[in-house]
Structure 1
Amino acid sequence: MPLRVPPAPAPALRSVLTALSSPTAVREARTPALLRAQGPVAPELPLPVHVLDRVTADGATATRLAGWRFLIRSGERAVAAADTMLTPDGWAFSHFFEGPYVTSTERALRQAESVPQPYQPRLLSVPELYMLTLWLHGDCAADAATGHPAATDLLIPLAPAPPGIAAHRPHRVAELLPVLTHRVTPSGLLGSPA
């Protein structure tokens, strides 16, 4: 079943296109793969990046939208990514980068294409664990900028994943969230008092 990739805000996409057409922005990005790219490069697969701030005692999550990430494709593969962020003036280009999360995101998206149920792909960051997951949200019509992981949503940890958590193994939120919560603090709750 194809993924239902949400449309990115038009100003976010425009900011990435402007940065890609700027030799200065590309040269200063320190992304050798982007500098070496042969032929045209294009931003694809916009994914909202949500940050997991805390989990309450009853399992409810608090997330916030941190930006939109675009994979930068050259030929048949993604060679880099571009992040955007919300500023007081609207969406703006943040930075280009490359590394393991670019190829891991592309791999997880291909993996998610084989899941029979339709999902809306998002990224969920767990900063305390230096972890990024592909979040497959079951409500394909939802506003991609809002919402919280539902118990039946899927999380696919991207490589490199924290020790003891297998990268590219899909987990229901109800299964993985308690494991993550327990690892973040000794008391087992994100955001709980020390």
Structure 2
Amino acid sequence: MPLHVPPAPAPALRSVLAALGSPTAVREPRTPALRSHPGPLTPELPLPVHVWDEITPDGRPPRTRLTAWRFLIRHGERAVAAADTVLTPDGWTFSHFFEGPYLNSTERALRHAEAMPAVYQPRLLSIPALYMLTLWLHRDPTADATTGVPAPSDVLVPLAPAPPGIAAHQPCTVADLLPVLTLRLNPAPTRTAPLLGQPA
């Protein structure tokens, strides 16, 4: 079923369009694809980027905060780069273009999500402590995309490259994945053997 992609703030979109029209912004050192595809380049599929700052041992869903709106930059039928916008005192503004493995991984995860039987609102969820990025499929497609926490029935799709021990592109509910993430970030203390002559 089609995803309900939330609308990005108009200033965010305008700032990306302005950056695409700027030779200086497009010719950043890390965006060879933009230099090799002079146009037309179109920003599409805006996704709010949320961050989990910490995951507590009690297993409660962590609070999230919105940090960016990310646009996929398309040339023809495929995404060749992405653009991030950030909130400043003057409003949403262009931050940077980038490429890399998360670009293709995001596109792949979105295609698979569109084939799922349920309707979701797509977001991105970053877990910096694990160097992990996931496609967050929120079950309420009409929710405010800038707020909220992952519900137990929401689906997370780890993007590649995923941390060791976590399968990339394997959809999991938050209820199933949260205990794994909690254990990874809060490992159980290891017991050390008592010194010789001390009581066990």
Band the TM-score falls in, shorter-chain normalisation? over 0.9
Map residues 1-194 of structure 1 onto 2, 5 A cutoff: 1-56=1-56, 57-186=58-187
Q: Which moved more, 1:142-151 or 1:29-38?
A: 29-38
CA distance in 2, matches of 1:34, 1:60: 38
Shift of 1:2: 0.3
Q: TM-score, normalised by structure 2?
A: 0.91
CA distance in 2, matches of 1:161, 1:106: 15
Instruction: Determine which structure has the larger strand proportion and give its number.
Output: 1
Query: 3-state DSSP class of the match of 2:53?
Result: strand
Q: Which has the larger radius of gyration?
A: 2
Q: Which moved more, 1:50-59 or 1:40-49?
A: 50-59
Shift of 1:60: 2.7
CA distance in 1, matches of 2:6, 2:89: 23
Shift of 1:17: 0.5
**1:43-82 CA distances to partner (integer Å, 9 max, x unpaired)?**
0000000001123425131110011000000011000000
Identify if the C-alpha distance between structure 1 residues 58 and 100 changes in structure 2 by more than 3 Å, giving closer, same or farther: closer
Identify if the C-alpha distance between structure 1 residues 58 and 28 changes in structure 2 by more than 3 Å, giving closer, same or farther: closer
**1:126-166 CA distances to partner (integer Å, 9 max, x unpaired)?**
00000000000001111000000000000000000001111
**Sequence identity (%):** 73
Q: Does the CA-based 8 Å contact 1:54-1:63 persist in structure 2?
A: no
Q: Does the CA-based 8 Å contact 1:38-1:74 persist in structure 2?
A: no
Residue 7 of structure 2 aligns with an amino acid whose one-letter code is P
RMSD: 1.3
In the alignment of these two chains, the number of paired residues is 188
Residue in 2 that maps onto 1:191: none
Runs of 4+ in 1 over 2 A off after TM superposition: 185-188
Shift of 1:180: 0.9
Residue 68 of structure 1 aligns with an amino acid whose one-letter code is W
Identify if the C-alpha distance between structure 1 residues 187 and 85 changes in structure 2 by more than 3 Å, giving closer, same or farther: farther
Residue in 2 that maps onto 1:192: none
